[in-house]
Structure 1
């Protein structure tokens, strides 16, 4: 069994840069940006000194709200050197969610881009902090976000009240190498260095506190399962704000000396073009992404012969899609990873040398230095092989806890250190796991965790809605779609489109119900609890989705 690597994220980059100084570290194909490990490490040191010059202390929280731009991955390893905690913001978030995250996380600094095609981030932040237009950069005094002092804009144009990314590079001259080295040496591998917000299995998003040890060692295991080395080039199509992007992606490359080839925003044509042009050996994605890539591959002339491995994960992986990726994209050593943010994220994973039938039909065996078991949700007793129960995990990979939520942490991690995932599965005699469902009713849409209560709480604010229940229904494209059952107040009418319009620009697009069904009475238990599984069954029948429930997944 591999030994745990007791090293910080910053020291890890130093080590890799010393081992493979001339290897490509970071390549942005369309920007013609290419940095060797030596150059990338030098840049991260410079930005780290800039943040220190800004007065940011070890343990302070820096939020990043951006697509997969070069500054994102730079900031990930920069904070790993100077000790600030990187708080990742979902790029789909709108004002309601961003305000909640910035408040709950106690972020003192926000690094951001101007926005995406669908969301104007600058407009949102100026609405949340109208004081920006009149304050000097670095001296924000916001009524709604009292702890937020610095906003750093990734872009050339000057924004009122904000610093620009290039200002950080100039500020770096105020800090010596010795001061940065002393800061980096003061960090402990068990310090929290990354915070990601997940809906998990209860309520509003929670800040999952992940340590250097969590991330570095999970990345080592993932790299080993994929037989990754400094010769590999990974095309990272998944968002950095998820563990899929910033652990299975960037961290896994850096522990191996492999090349990170990020795509800023997913586009199946660009994926195939970059694989062809950069001779990528590995490709990550959720099933939805691979389905779109396969469709494009059938239309165009792309050379994907360099592909060897990669990870399909994020939501249940249809067996037929896995087979098509192996056969048509040549990814003979593709793997599946199962886990969750609270587990840094990997718990189990298939290996490149597993037989193909196991690699397409299971989520593999537990990774090194980690335990996993199946327990009876009612009794807590261990289940024998082949019997369904809740998947639990224990080891270095388990989060430090939820930020400022001790009760939620105690619900997730029991007294013996076992993380209760809320997922149902079975384990066979050889230790291979298969996911069979979810204990709670969380929806996974295209790799995004969607917790129904969050949408229900929001829809309750609509003046014409009396009650609402949200469930997931099967989808060929996304795995699941969001469906809202709505009870209206007496004597009023409302359409599906009006409800969707009410959600627009207030909650993330992927949370907006794709389906709305109006209902007078909910199915309930004898004790009065609403039976969501019955609502889901009714919806599947009403929408004619029965065939989609038969699709086999791992």
Structure 2
């Protein structure tokens, strides 16, 4: 369900005020009320043909819609028939222009029944208007008021009309107060005909209603909402409010936030409602939410529910660090750091970046940021200064949490070079020329000038009352962005993928459902958290099922095998190269895999033999494969633990619950039949909100009907499984890392000796693919393979350094002048003698 409000309560508001209030309080829609008989005559309103395009653009930019227009005329008046028809037709025309699905119409005039109403006359009027509305793809909603507060009578009226373009609007107040109906009776009478809902609270004084703020009257609103849930209602709950109803409560700045908070608390309670816990397939563990359901829960909702159900269950335990927390204890750490972030000036919507391996502070920062409505920006641990500067600047990062460095990336040195102002700055007071939005830098491992230490930052939380965290938490909505992960594309510019709570929570839940995760499972997390692989497939899948998590700070086959042995791990994930490294490690034979059950192999094509070895030698009989990309949160398809092994080896499974998948012709966009290669497209709850500050790139990725075009070639089998057969785009997948040639090409172009360059992926036995740079030098210049590699190595992450460099005079092209990268790849296989790697069969 979503919330909206009627503009009837805003006679003194400008449209800018209305938009701002709706967005700030988390409303999804604005119900337009009080336009009058001739709705196009008032030029000051933003609905004239001249101003309508800007109005629609503004609504779209704020993520708002106009779900309902409310006409004020009453159809019962026979003498006003022509005038009423004319007025409602105007509303129908405007609704079509606005993309508004519903129009409220009145059969009777006043809320309380007064006088007689000729039902047959009202039916005839509705039939006439219904035909017109149907032609405009609009639905008329007869409100439960007056004699139609009796919803049995209203149902009889609607049955006589019998048109899909005429349904019901439930004003919760009227049937309860004036017809004596319980919420269950109303819903039983109207059922699926309820398309929109009005609500206001009240008490009865001397036989007359006196209106109150939500939750302060005696209307059984929770039971009314529960009744809607029982029939699967997922539309709007719209606040009706008029100043004259309660002069002492005429301030919309009080009434509207109260309603928004009340509804958010209800939605949170709904997701937290106690019910019978679910059991895994072997009846050895429990989990909360039924499989194949979507939940209206934010990340803080999820953690609160786990604490409620499994407070003493191990949440995180490290075998290499002194950090073990139950779910309840972990939430305490999260709340303390959430208070710290508030103390440092982090507000809802601000961007908090985490540049770290899988240390405890990564998890604490994620859950604390999302609890107060901030956005967690993930930073690749391999980034060097060139990439880090771009990400931190383009993402408008406000607060950065970082370790000192990882492998050959010196994070402290990089941030000092990017922000020399730190030397003379107090912690929290940074004003950087190169990173103008950045204010706070928190260092986990050491003390640096101008930076908070982790301990100092945590201590700041003591100055913020715990109630402030809860106030912020109540403002977090499921459709708010919670995470930004950076991925590149053919343009070469990394793009910030905006993922919402609803995207990620449900994708993680769906993946955990397919794995049959429960409290009986112990998940080792060795995949990096800056990837969706770690953040969603491991952490979120685990957290939505009460799993105990055992992170490894950074992948090491030795540490992983030790953790499996010591903690009796039942599940872990990895890219194929990780599994290969563990299988070939000297400690492998000494490791007890008897408790192992499941996991995910993903990130790059998996050789069939490796998958078979994992099943046979690691006891991972229920291992699955997930396919997707960051833009889809990331999972689109997944094999199930009970699928036959050949399905789990040779396909990427079926669409996840709530996700639609199809194969289309890349040229025409037409759907293709089974067993025909085409572009893999996906649509559903999991599709990103868009690329941050890149609307053109968003429009190129997601079509007008909401389908994400992945750029991957795939086919669907007759059984409904999918096989990935290639890539339309030129992306290279090296050991699970997505590498985009254009980004490397753009950098090599800056070398003074280089005239042109193309970067391609070539087959590799260990990593699946390796990078090859094919270079054309400027006239008269000479260079070497090592010179080009060194140039990239000093400015970009290690995994982006080409393994091979060749020098040519020209690139192969077709008749239209398009460079043929597939031909370059074929030539490279011959030149480098990579036929064996090229012949490896992958799933």
- Classify the TM-score, shorter chain: over 0.9
Q: Does 1:113 align with 2:403?
A: yes
Once the two structures are TM-superposed, the CA of residue 300 in structure 1 deviates from its matched residue by: 4.1
Q: SS of the counterpart of 1:108?
A: strand
**Residue segments in structure 2 that go unaligned for 5+ positions in a row:** 1-290
Question: Contact 2:558–2:587 (CA<8 Å) still a contact in 1?
Answer: no
Question: Contact 1:444–1:450 (CA<8 Å) still a contact in 2?
Answer: yes
Provide, for residues 222-266 of structure 1, a one-character-per-residue CA deviation record: whole Å limited to 9, x for no partner.
011101001101111110000000111111111000011111111
**How far apart in 2 are the matches of 1:32 and 1:316?**
36
Q: Give 1:268's match in structure 2, choosing from 543, 553, 557.
A: 557
Partner residue, 1:370: 659
Question: Contact 2:341–2:461 (CA<8 Å) still a contact in 1?
Answer: yes
Q: SS of the counterpart of 1:256?
A: coil
Q: Give 2:430's match in structure 1, choosing from 124, 132, 140.
A: 140
Partner residue, 2:740: 451
Q: Give 1:514's match in structure 2, choosing from 774, 789, 803.
A: 803
Partner residue, 1:174: 463
Q: Give 1:534's match in structure 2, choosing from 800, 803, 823.
A: 823
Q: With the length of structure 2 as denominator, give the TM-score of the two structures.
A: 0.65
Q: SS of the counterpart of 2:838?
A: helix
Partner residue, 2:640: 351
Q: Give 1:241's match in structure 2, choosing from 525, 530, 533.
A: 530
Provide, for residues 34-63 of structure 1, a one-character-per-residue CA deviation record: whole Å limited to 9, x for no partner.
100000011101110110111100000011
Question: Contact 1:63–1:89 (CA<8 Å) still a contact in 2?
Answer: yes
**Cα RMSD (Å) of the superposition?**
1.0
**How far apart in 2 are the matches of 1:179 and 1:286?**
41
Query: What are the equivalent positions in structure 2 for 1:4-83 lying under 5 Å apart?
Result: 4-83=294-373
**How far apart in 2 are the matches of 1:456 and 1:381?**
33
When structure 1 is superposed on structure 2, of 480-489 and 168-177 the one drifting more is 168-177
**How far apart in 2 are the matches of 1:211 and 1:149?**
24
Partner residue, 1:360: 649
Q: Give 2:605's match in structure 1, choosing from 298, 303, 316.
A: 316
Provide, for residues 394-426 of structure 1, a one-character-per-residue CA deviation record: whole Å limited to 9, x for no partner.
000000000000000000000000000000011
**How far apart in 2 are the matches of 1:512 and 1:305?**
40
Q: SS of the counterpart of 2:482?
A: strand
Greater RCO between the two (CA within 8 Å, min separation 6)? 1
Q: Give 2:454's match in structure 1, choosing from 162, 165, 174.
A: 165
Q: Does 1:99 align with 2:99?
A: no
Q: Give 1:525's match in structure 2, choosing from 814, 818, 831.
A: 814
Partner residue, 2:687: 398
Partner residue, 2:442: 152
Q: SS of the counterpart of 2:537?
A: coil
Partner residue, 1:307: 596
Q: 1:386 to 1:298 in 2, by over 3 A?
A: farther
When structure 1 is superposed on structure 2, of 497-506 and 218-227 the one drifting more is 497-506
Q: 1:259 to 1:299 in 2, by over 3 A?
A: closer
Query: What are the equivalent positions in structure 2 for 1:287-306 lying under 5 Å apart?
Result: 287-296=576-585, 300-306=589-595
Once the two structures are TM-superposed, the CA of residue 201 in structure 1 deviates from its matched residue by: 4.6
When structure 1 is superposed on structure 2, of 299-308 and 126-135 the one drifting more is 299-308
**How far apart in 2 are the matches of 1:350 and 1:81?**
32
Once the two structures are TM-superposed, the CA of residue 202 in structure 1 deviates from its matched residue by: 4.0
Question: Contact 2:316–2:550 (CA<8 Å) still a contact in 1?
Answer: yes
Q: 1:237 to 1:299 in 2, by over 3 A?
A: closer
Once the two structures are TM-superposed, the CA of residue 298 in structure 1 deviates from its matched residue by: 7.1
Once the two structures are TM-superposed, the CA of residue 296 in structure 1 deviates from its matched residue by: 1.3
Once the two structures are TM-superposed, the CA of residue 297 in structure 1 deviates from its matched residue by: 5.9
Question: Contact 1:375–1:382 (CA<8 Å) still a contact in 2?
Answer: yes
Partner residue, 1:545: 834
Partner residue, 2:13: none
Partner residue, 2:508: 219
Question: Contact 1:8–1:188 (CA<8 Å) still a contact in 2?
Answer: yes
**How far apart in 2 are the matches of 1:67 and 1:429?**
42
Query: What are the equivalent positions in structure 2 for 1:375-524 lying under 5 Å apart?
Result: 375-524=664-813
**How far apart in 2 are the matches of 1:430 and 1:297?**
41
Once the two structures are TM-superposed, the CA of residue 200 in structure 1 deviates from its matched residue by: 3.9
Aligned residues: 553
Q: Does 1:186 align with 2:479?
A: no
**How far apart in 1 are the matches of 2:489 and 2:609?**
28
Partner residue, 2:412: 122
**How far apart in 1 are the matches of 2:706 and 2:407?**
43
Question: Contact 2:611–2:649 (CA<8 Å) still a contact in 1?
Answer: yes
Q: SS of the counterpart of 1:109?
A: strand
Q: SS of the counterpart of 2:405?
A: coil
**How far apart in 1 are the matches of 2:322 and 2:387?**
34
Question: Contact 1:202–1:451 (CA<8 Å) still a contact in 2?
Answer: no
Provide, for residues 3-58 of structure 1, a one-character-per-residue CA deviation record: whole Å limited to 9, x for no partner.
31111101110111111101000011111321000000111011101101111000
Partner residue, 2:615: 326
Q: SS of the counterpart of 2:713?
A: strand
**How far apart in 1 are the matches of 2:489 and 2:365?**
25
Provide, for residues 299-324 of structure 1, a one-character-per-residue CA deviation record: whole Å limited to 9, x for no partner.
64111211100000011111111100
Once the two structures are TM-superposed, the CA of residue 117 in structure 1 deviates from its matched residue by: 2.4
**How far apart in 1 are the matches of 2:757 and 2:466?**
57
**How far apart in 2 are the matches of 1:440 and 1:486?**
20
Q: 1:58 to 1:299 in 2, by over 3 A?
A: closer
Provide, for residues 261-316 of structure 1, a one-character-per-residue CA deviation record: whole Å limited to 9, x for no partner.
11111111111111000111001000010011111167641112111000000111
Query: What are the equivalent positions in structure 2 for 1:189-200 lying under 5 Å apart?
Result: 189-200=478-489
Q: 1:150 to 1:350 in 2, by over 3 A?
A: same
**How far apart in 2 are the matches of 1:389 and 1:297?**
43
Provide, for residues 463-495 of structure 1, a one-character-per-residue CA deviation record: whole Å limited to 9, x for no partner.
011111000001111111000001111222111
Question: Contact 1:272–1:297 (CA<8 Å) still a contact in 2?
Answer: no
